[in-house]
Amino acid sequence: MDFQEYQKKCLNTWIGGEKFIRSFLGVSGEAGELLECINKHLRGDFDREELKKRCTRELGDVLYYTAVTAHELGIDFNQIAEENLAKLAKRMAEGKIRGDGDNR
């Protein structure tokens, strides 16, 4: 399955209104849950295998909300992936992969 197909399937499972703002909030909320997974692992609540299982679920939720957010902004999900890889390849080629900010 490619990103565009995934994006379309995500839209079929959305329930309720306020898709625009709720999709943004969903990305943030699910990213927080992903961070909670590593926090609980580091304090010893579960082993690395359980961390992997939990992170797989949370990363899926982040991906879902990201796909819906992109749709609400009129952005093809494949375009996001392609542009991100191109940006990273350019930074690598220029020796600017380290650091922060988009203007490297």
What is the dihedral sign for C-alpha 1, 67, 62, 90?
A: positive
Residue 93 resides in a domain: no
pLDDT in tens, the chain (104 residues): 899 999 999 999 999 999 999 999 999 999 999 999 999 999 999 999 999 999 999 999 999 999 999 999 999 999 999 999 999 999 999 988 887 777 77
Residue 71 resides in a domain: yes
Residue 85 resides in a domain: no
**What is the tally of structural domains in the chain?**
1
71 close to 7: Cβ distance less than 8 angstroms: yes
Residue 28 resides in a domain: yes
Looking up residue 16, the CATH number of its domain turns out to be 1.10.287.1080
Residue 26 lies in domain: 3-76
Residue 103 resides in a domain: no
- pTM of the predicted model as reported, rounded to 2 decimal places: 0.89
